[in-house]
C-alpha cells in the first residue's frame, strides 16, 4: 500500500496556507545568520504594525476576496456577522471590504499594543514578542480564517491540482 496521500488543493487553500506561513515566519525567531529578518521583539509596536503585520494582512485579504459572481449582499452580511462574533471591533462594512477590514484590524491591534506602556521600553523584548503574537492571534488570524471559511462555503475555491503528502 502506498504511503502517499493525495490532498485536493484549491487556489484559496493555497492562498490561505501562504498567508498563514508568511505570518508565522514574520513572528518567528530569525534563523542563526539571517541578518535580513529583524526579530519582532526589537521593533516598537507602531513599527511592528506598520512595517510587518499590516502589509502582510492587506496582501492576505486581497487574495481571499470573493469574485464578482458571488452574491455580495449575502457575503457581506455573513462576513460582518462572523467578524463581530469573533470579537473583532467592527460595526460596519464600507464600499471597500479590504479597507473596512484593515481599519478593524488596526483598531484591534492598537487596542492590544499601543495602550500597553510596558511595550515601549527598549528592554521589553520578550514581552513585545509575546504580546505581538497574542495580538496577531486575536486581530489578524480570525479575520483571515473567516474570509477563508466563507470562500470555501461559497464554492469559489477552484481546484488547482493536488498536493502529495508523504515520503
Q: Using CB under 8 A as the criterion, which residues of the chain lie in contact with other proteins when the complex forms? A: 68-74, 76-77, 80, 91-95, 97, 100, 154-156
Least separation in angstroms between residue 71's CB and other proteins is: 6
CB atoms within 10 A of CB 30: 13
3-state SS class at 165: strand
Query: Which residue, 76 or 133, has its beta carbon nearer to other proteins?
Result: 76
Which secondary structure element, helix H or strand E, spans residue 58, and what is its range? helix 54-63
The answer to whether 150 touches 79, Cβ cutoff 8 Å, is yes
Least separation in angstroms between residue 80's CB and other proteins is: 5
Q: Which residues on adjacent β-strands are paired with residue 162?
A: 8
Least separation in angstroms between residue 140's CB and other proteins is: 21
- Cα(122)–Cα(128) distance, integer angstroms: 10
Query: Which residue, 45 or 66, has its beta carbon nearer to other proteins?
Result: 66
Least separation in angstroms between residue 19's CB and other proteins is: 23
Least separation in angstroms between residue 59's CB and other proteins is: 22
Residue with cell 487553500: 13
Query: Which residue, 53 or 80, has its beta carbon nearer to other proteins?
Result: 80
3-state SS class at 22: helix
Query: Which residue, 6 or 77, has its beta carbon nearer to other proteins?
Result: 77
Gyration radius from the chain CA atoms:
18
The answer to whether 156 touches 72, Cβ cutoff 8 Å, is no
Three cell numbers, residue 161? 491540482
Query: Which residue, 55 or 94, has its beta carbon nearer to other proteins?
Result: 94
Amino acid at each position: 500500500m502506498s504511503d502517499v496521500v493525495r490532498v485536493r488543493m484549491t487556489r484559496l487553500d493555497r492562498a490561505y496556507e501562504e498567508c498563514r506561513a508568511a505570518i508565522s515566519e514574520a513572528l518567528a525567531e530569525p534563523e542563526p545568520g539571517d541578518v535580513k529578518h529583524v526579530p519582532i521583539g526589537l521593533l516598537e509596536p507602531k513599527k511592528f504594525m506598520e512595517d510587518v503585520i499590516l502589509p502582510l494582512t492587506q496582501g492576505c485579504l486581497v487574495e481571499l476576496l470573493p469574485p464578482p459572481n458571488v452574491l455580495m449582499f449575502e457575503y457581506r452580511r455573513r462576513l460582518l456577522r462572523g467578524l463581530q462574533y469573533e470579537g473583532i471591533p467592527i460595526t460596519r462594512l464600507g464600499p471597500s471590504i479590504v479597507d473596512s477590514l484593515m481599519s478593524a484590524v488596526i483598531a484591534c491591534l492598537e487596542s492590544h499594543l499601543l495602550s500597553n506602556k510596558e511595550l515601549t521600553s527598549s528592554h521589553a523584548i520578550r514581552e513585545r514578542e509575546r504580546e505581538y503574537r497574542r495580538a496577531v492571534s486575536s486581530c489578524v488570524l480570525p479575520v483571515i480564517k473567516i474570509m477563508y471559511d466563507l470562500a470555501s462555503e461559497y464554492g469559489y475555491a477552484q481546484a488547482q491540482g493536488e498536493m502529495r503528502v508523504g515520503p
